[in-house]
Homo-oligomer: A and B are copies of this chain.
């Protein structure tokens, strides 16, 4: 069954909404109280196009929380288990945010804009409120606000050629997860080499709406020779690549170790963050479940809540995201798997209604490249 989305001011539109609606967007999700395109009508076609050409995405829903002031770095560090003490201006840091119990709250990319100025490019939860609460409680000297910054992403293997054509040679020197400012028609844009696909590309942090719309249009004009198309984060590509989705693959009931974020957890140095004591305890005790990939012999699936995966009569884990991969000719998914099934030798079974499908557990990412 399909259902319409009831639009309202509360589900905020973006500077690109009228453009993508003219370009044929068919479905939205919501993310940070904003519309995020989910399909232009053919997920599989969009998947193959993304892996071969270049797409422009309206990902304004990746909202930016700006934290600035003399305690800004202290506050950002308090929220994340990643050690940011050596962070450099001009770099992006994937930074899991946790609560005092060690439960996941978000997994933003943190951009260090200055010694006292950070942006958190958020997944779907109101981390600005967490930051405000901590700052008020500790009486920190910071200003916290959501910016009117609206990201468009340029993703796919031909994104490099397209960006070079529109923004000049210098953009090709930008390293992965670096950012810098680039000029288009006298407007400066913060551009990062990043994005919610593994196909390569850029995220353009648009601070001036009209200038951003002009750049959006220019990318389509200039991109014709590269077969540019409108697109959006692609469910098939992101599951195959194991780009985890907060709220889908993990939530507040999960800790960073269970999500496989071990390399972003610092429990050894003397940095101070909320939840450090809890993570230390979890580390010592060890975890008994973690996120893994699954491959299932089925030709379609829709996941709207956790679905149990069985090994015989026992529950081996819970499927949290899944879709059919036209590439692998199987359903690919991300699931929280119990420890006794981590060795991948077990076959698993998925029951949806009366239908049973066989499958197996695999490492993440499911597909590389």
Contact = CB atoms under 8 A, between A and B. Distances in A.
Contact of A130 (B3, B25, B133, B246): B133
A345 B133 CA distance: 43
A99 B29 contact: no
B133 A303 contact: no
A4 B6 contact: no
A274 B129 contact: no
The bracket for how many chain A residues form the interface is 35 or more
Given A4-B26, A4-B27, A6-B27, 4 more contacts: A9-B321, A10-B245, A133-B136, A134-B137
Contact of A129 (B6, B8, B133): B133
Interface of A: 1-13, 17, 21, 25-30, 33, 38-39, 99-100, 105, 124-127, 129-138, 146, 245-248, 252, 274, 302-306, 320-321
30 contacts: A1-B21, A3-B26, A3-B28, A4-B27, A5-B28, A6-B29, A6-B39, A7-B304, A8-B245, A8-B248, A8-B304, A8-B321, A9-B247, A9-B248, A9-B303, A10-B245, A10-B248, A11-B29, A12-B305, A100-B135, A127-B129, A129-B133, A130-B132, A133-B134, A133-B135, A133-B136, A134-B134, A135-B137, A137-B138, A138-B138
A133 B336 CA distance: 28
Contacts of A124: 10, 33
A3 B1 contact: no
Given A4-B2, A7-B304, A132 B30 contact: no
Contacts of A5: 3-5, 27-29
A26 B6 CA distance: 9
Contacts of A1: 21
A273 to B, nearest CB: 10
A13 to B, nearest CB: 5
Contact of A100 (B11, B26, B132, B302): B132
Nearest to A8: B248
Contacts of A245: 8, 10
Contact of A304 (B13, B38, B99): B13
Contact of A126 (B10, B11, B30, B125): B125
